């Protein structure tokens, strides 16, 4: 059901990120502040509709972590006009599929529908944008669902648990230190009035962007948006506190002990992102650097460490240049048989050192750029993906037009620029490292009991 955490996983990694201007984007702003983006794609008679809110875990303060995600769940629990569950039933009856997701910097709701049903989506989304009815009984049940989600995704997953603790180590005062789903104690202690307050504060047309991609006409979408969303009152939005992360002053390390079979390590360097950066080329150079290390099976880490030296069983690099606040460039890796996390760390840091010392080759750079150009075409195969990128860019406070600049900006990156960002940012004082130290999993005994015997075999 509702996907929540790790939404960055959908967007990270060089080859995934690119969008093209083959299909035009139309932009409207309603009087109440709601922004509407429409991208036509007439290949199939379908439409994807997404409502993006500028709200997520990086807006939360201590004690209520995860409340944006909890509220996302409650958004399916009814309004003054539609009782709990009816939203989903109406979408289903109209042949639609729907879901929602919460990230550090956004909460978004979406439906995919046959193109004539867009009105159904707008009518229901406009209703729950302002008229959510938060009910104590529904809340009590849904809190349990969220706790089960946390157990499933984090508590019982040694690597995800390590990642969660690692983020809390790497960030001191910046809001990315908290997990999107929230700390368990906070989840257990939200009150209905916490939720009520959070909803009133952030769910408003002037804090949202509606993105529509599909077989539609922009003017018609604008008129529909005006009809349903245009009547909603805007809110006075609180001014967001900057909470700028303190400068890191040295290497940070931690060990996480959990029942697991394999060791694992994650390293992260504090790096800038497109939003708020002075030198715009730097995030694009970091994006290329990510591709040089891990942009495909021929990139440096798979070629040199997974094959080559055979020190890593896997190694993945992550960087999201569309994050709202400065973030981490992460490397997650598993040592190959016969190697430990310390050896693997040394090998990874040797790869980083080489980026600092020598410019990447023109062949490597050409390879990364060729992939970006091709993926620009591939991404147009998915209306959902196109809508995601537009919505995310708007929501973090960049313009959607950044999506259209992406390929040219990547093409302009030089080997010297890659080296320059490596030297500036991939340094020990910006680095945090966590090792997962596996605890033995006690082998359980398997028992079988036959409940019914010899029933009709075929």
Partner 1 sequence: MHAKFLSAFIALLTLLSPCMTQATPNIQHWTTAQGTRVYFVRTEGLPMVDLHVVFAAGSVYDGTQHGVASLTSALLDSGAGKWNADDIAQRLESVGAVMETSVSKDTGSLYLRSLTDPDKLNVAVGTLHAILTKPLFTAEDFERQKRQALLSLQEKEESPGNLAEVIYTKAIYGDHPYGHPTDGEIGTVTQLTRNDLVKFYQRYYVAANAMVAIVGDLARADAETLVERLLAGLPQGAPAEILPTVAEPLAATTVKQFFPSTQTHVLIGEPVLVYNDPDYFPLYVGNHILGGSGLVARITQEVREKRGLSYSASSYFSPRADKGPFTMRLQTRNEQTDKALKVIMETANKFIADGPTDKELEAAKQNLVGGFVLRIDNNRKIAEYVATIGFYGLPLDYLHTFTAKVQSVTVADIVKSFKTRVDPARFQTVLVGGAVGK
Please list every residue from 166 through 225 that binds partner 1, using CB under 8 A: none
Token code pair at residue 264: 């694992």
Closer residue to partner 1 in complex, CB, 236/458:
458
Closer residue to partner 1 in complex, CB, 251/439:
439
Token code pair at residue 402: 């950044």
Please list every residue from 100 through 129 that binds partner 1, using CB under 8 A: 112-114, 116-117, 120, 123
Q: Which stretch binds partner 1 (CB under 8 A): 32-40, 168-176, 225-233, 448-456?
A: 448-456
Please list every residue from 46 through 85 that binds partner 1, using CB under 8 A: 46, 76, 82, 84-85
Which residue bears the tokens 């989304």?
125
Closer residue to partner 1 in complex, CB, 86/404:
86
Residue 351 neighbours by CB under 8 Å, 6+ apart: 293, 300, 301, 304, 305
Closer residue to partner 1 in complex, CB, 251/366:
366
Please list every residue from 304 through 323 that binds partner 1, using CB under 8 A: 307, 310, 313
Give the total residue count for the chain: 458
Provide the strand spans (E) within 302-366.
Answer: 312-318, 327-335
Among 21, 63, 95, 397, binds partner 1 (CB under 8 A): 95
Here's the x/- map for partner 1, 423-442, by CB under 8 A: it reads as ------------------xx
Residue 253, SS3 per DSSP: strand
Among 234, 296, 359, 415, binds partner 1 (CB under 8 A): 296
Q: Which among 205, 74, 210, 193 is positioned nearest to 129, based on CA atoms?
A: 205
Q: Which residues of 247-283 are buried (b: 16+ CB within 10 A; e: fewer)?
A: ebeeebeeebebebeebbbbbbbbbbbbbeeeeeebb
408 scored as a contact of partner 1 (CB under 8 A): no
9 scored as a contact of partner 1 (CB under 8 A): no
Min separation Cβ 346 and partner 1, Å: 20
**Catalytic positions:** 72
# chain residues binding partner 1, by CB under 8 A: 92
Cα 69 from chain centroid (whole Å): 13
Q: At what angle do helices 218-228 and 118-130 cross, to 10 degrees?
A: 30
Classify strands 264-271 and 107-114 as parallel, antiparallel or unpaired.
unpaired
Min separation Cβ 273 and partner 1, Å: 25
Closer residue to partner 1 in complex, CB, 214/268:
214
16 scored as a contact of partner 1 (CB under 8 A): no
Min separation Cβ 28 and partner 1, Å: 25
Q: Which stretch binds partner 1 (CB under 8 A): 26-34, 58-66, 232-240, 447-455?
A: 447-455
381 scored as a contact of partner 1 (CB under 8 A): yes
- The span from the CA of 364 to the CA of 369, in Å, is 9
Q: Which among 223, 311, 153 is positioned nearest to 303, based on CA atoms?
A: 311
């Amino acid at each position: 059901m509702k996907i929540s955490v790790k939404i960055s996983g959908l967007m990270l990694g060089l080859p995934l990120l690119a969008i093209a201007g083959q299909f035009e984007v139309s932009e409207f702003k309603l009087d109440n502040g709601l922004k509407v983006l429409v991208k036509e794609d007439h290949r199939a008679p379908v439409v994807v509709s997404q409502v993006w809110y500028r709200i997520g875990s990086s807006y939360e303060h201590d004690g209520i972590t995860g409340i944006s995600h909890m509220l996302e769940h409650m958004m399916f629990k009814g309004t003054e006009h539609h009782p709990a569950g009816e939203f989903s039933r109406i979408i289903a009856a109209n042949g639609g599929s729907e879901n929602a997701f919460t990230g550090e910097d956004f909460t978004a709701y979406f439906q995919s529908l046959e193109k004539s049903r867009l009105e159904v989506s707008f009518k229901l989304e406009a209703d729950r944008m302002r008229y959510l009815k938060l009910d104590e009984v529904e809340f009590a049940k849904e809190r349990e669902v969220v706790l089960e989600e946390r157990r499933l995704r984090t508590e019982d997953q040694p690597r995800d648990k390590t990642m969660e603790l690692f983020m809390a180590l790497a960030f001191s005062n910046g809001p990315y230190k908290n997990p999107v789903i929230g700390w368990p104690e906070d989840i257990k202690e939200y009150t209905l009035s916490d939720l009520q307050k959070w909803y009133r504060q952030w769910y408003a047309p002037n804090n949202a962007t509606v993105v529509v991609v599909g077989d539609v006409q922009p003017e018609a979408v604008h008129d529909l948006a005006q009809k349903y969303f245009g009547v909603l009152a805007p809110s006075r939005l609180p001014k967001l506190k900057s909470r700028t992360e303190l400068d890191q002053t040295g290497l940070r390390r931690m060990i996480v002990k959990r029942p697991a079979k394999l060791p694992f390590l994650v390293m992260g360097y504090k790096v800038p992102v497109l939003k708020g950066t002075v030198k715009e080329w730097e995030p694009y150079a970091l994006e290329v650097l990510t591709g040089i290390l891990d942009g495909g099976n021929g990139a440096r880490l798979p070629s040199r460490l997974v094959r080559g030296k055979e020190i890593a069983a896997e190694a993945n690099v992550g960087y999201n240049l569309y994050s709202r606040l400065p973030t981490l460039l992460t490397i997650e890796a598993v040592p190959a048989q016969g190697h430990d996390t310390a050896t693997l760390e040394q090998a990874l840091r040797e790869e980083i050192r080489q980026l600092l010392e020598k410019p990447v080759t023109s062949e490597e750079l050409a390879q990364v750029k060729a992939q970006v150009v091709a993926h620009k075409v591939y991404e147009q195969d998915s209306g959902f993906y196109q809508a995601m990128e537009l919505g995310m860019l708007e929501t973090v406070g960049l313009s959607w037009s950044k999506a259209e600049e992406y390929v040219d900006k990547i093409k302009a990156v030089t080997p010297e620029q890659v080296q320059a960002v490596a030297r500036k940012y991939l340094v020990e004082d910006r680095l945090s490292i966590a090792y997962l130290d596996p605890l033995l999993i006690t082998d359980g005994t398997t028992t079988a009991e036959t409940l019914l015997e010899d029933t009709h075999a075929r």
